[in-house]
Structure 1
Amino acid sequence: MARAPVLAAGGIVLRQAEPPLIAVVRLRKRNEWVLPKGRLDDGETARDAAEREVLEETGHDVCVHEFLGTLVYESGGRSKIVHYWRMETSGEQAYELMDDVRAVDWLPLDAAVERLSRSYERAFLEHVGPLALAAAALSRVSRPARAKKQPAAEKRQRRQVVAPPAALPAPVSTPPQPDLRPLASGQDQRPLVDSDGVEVETSAATMAPEVVAPSAEEIEISAATIVSPVEETQSGDHAIAATTEVRRINLVQKVRQWLRRAA
């Protein structure tokens, strides 16, 4: 009667380095270098058994990833079926090794293949080792990079908001206001032109003649000129009265012209 096969589970355990390293363990009983693995306990799943056995034989906490394959071989007159998962560890050894393990070594893929004592494990690792390395590299690339925490002081500096400088008001040029005062009668309103034929800008001071108010003495003299001849006309001198009337008219015209210019 055929005996039932032995079920076991283990891992291709990687540690991040350049190049990545693979764990191989040295058994105390036969002094052989093998991949970390072990038998399933009653009611235990193959995946849980693989994680437990790797922790006991390497002393490292591991993270279990995808399934890599199954290795079947003859051992002690019985078939042995071993399922392997890709695993990774990033820390140092956390636990003591089990009694059956003498040492643990971390080697690059090619050196790990050469270190294994059993030919069927060398063939298996040579076949699935590159797949494990490629999967690990792909997972590191696709893993979102975590933002580094910034110091509190730097955060406060970045939160400070600098107010923009107040904009200075632009100077507004006031257009010159035209002189709306009426020109004196008889004044020429044509623009001034220099000797080269260029029009010269004229101001109110240039266009409007200066008006000087008569002094008090001038007004008194004018009044005397008006009044005194009138008194002489009362004596009957007709010629002097006519002359006085002409002077009065001339004086009235001058006063009117002065008032018109002052306006």
Structure 2
Amino acid sequence: MPPSTSDAAPRGAPVHAAGCVLWRAERGDPAVAGGVAVEVALVHRPKYDDWSHPKGKLHPGESAEAAAVREVREETGARCVLGARLTTVRYAVEGRPKTVDYWVAEAVSGTFVPSREIDRVAWLPPRRARLLLTHPRDRALLDAALTSLTR
């Protein structure tokens, strides 16, 4: 659904978004040396034909934490628990500055339902996720998330 006029930012206005590097214990072979093997969720956006971490714009008055949890739910169907705060990523989209605050988040339940915005979710071991991610900034987020999970 397109944003209402009240939700749309003026042209050139900064966009603030939030998202997560979403993980779960790997299914099938959870035991590995030094901890638990994990799978990471990546979302496919058909509009851009890219693979990324779940993220989206904050609603007016919404905290970044609440937006991150909501966007994970909307895009992947997963209910999640936020973990460590990661970095804030900055880049431009169609001439507008965009900032995205990220967290590590554990998926605890839920089922994916495809939509026009997100048509696929892939749960992958980190090495395979790294290869599928479209943007280098998302690979750096994956690295940071994995580091936070091993502490």
Instruction: Confirm or deny a common fold (TM above 0.5).
Output: yes
Q: Which residue of 2 aligns with 1:101?
A: 118
1:110 matched to 2:127? The reply is: yes
Which one of 49, 64, 70 corresponds to residue 31 of structure 1?
49
* Cα distance between partner residues in 2 of 1:133 and 1:22: 12
Which amino acid counterpart does residue 113 of structure 1 have in structure 2?
Answer: R
1:59 deviates by: 0.7
Percentage identity across aligned positions? 36
SS, match of residue 56 in structure 1:
helix
Answer whether contact 2:22 2:104 (CA < 8 A) is retained.
Answer: yes
CA contact (8 A) 2:22 2:105 kept: yes
Tell me, in whole angstroms, the C-alpha distance in 2 between the residues paired with 1:5 and 1:65.
26
* Distance change >3 Å, CA 124–CA 24, structure 1 → 2: same
Q: Does 1:9 align with 2:23?
A: no
TM-score normalized by the length of structure 1? 0.47
Letter in 1 for 2:135: R
How do 1:73-112 residues align onto structure 2 when only pairs under 5 Å count? 73-93=91-111, 96-112=113-129
* TM-score w.r.t. length of structure 2: 0.79
Structure 2 portions without partners, runs of 5+: 1-10, 31-36
* 1:130 aligns to 2:146 (yes or no): yes
CA gap 1:14/1:100 in 2 versus in 1, 3 angstroms: same
Note the alpha carbon deviations across 1:201-248, whole angstroms, 9 max, x for none.
xxxxxxxxxxxxxxxxxxxxxxxxxxxxxxxxxxxxxxxxxxxxxxxx
- Structure number with the bigger relative contact order (C-alpha 8 A, sep ≥ 6) is 2
Letter in 2 for 1:70: T
SS at match of 2:109: coil
How far apart are residue 68 of structure 1 and its match?
1.4
Q: Deviations over 1:4-45 (max 9, x none)?
A: 321000001111123201110001212211110000001111
Q: Deviations over 1:31-86 (max 9, x none)?
A: 21111000000111100000000001101111122211111112111111000111
Give the aligned CA root-mean-square deviation in angstroms.
1.8
Aligned partners of 2:125, 2:14: CA distance in 1, in Å? 32
The structural deviation recorded for 1:88 is 0.5
Q: Which residue of 1 aligns with 2:39?
A: 21
Letter in 2 for 1:102: D
| Map of 2:86 onto structure 1 | 68
Of the three residues 42, 53, 56, the one matched with 2:71 is: 53
Matches for 1:1-263 after TM superposition, within 5 Å: 3-17=12-26, 18=30, 19-93=37-111, 96-126=113-143, 128-135=144-151
Runs of 4+ in 1 over 3 A off after TM superposition: none
Instruction: Figure out how many residues of one structure are paired with residues of the other and give that number.
Output: 132
Q: CA deviation at 1:92?
A: 4.7
Q: Which has the higher strand share?
A: 2
Larger Rg over CA atoms: 1
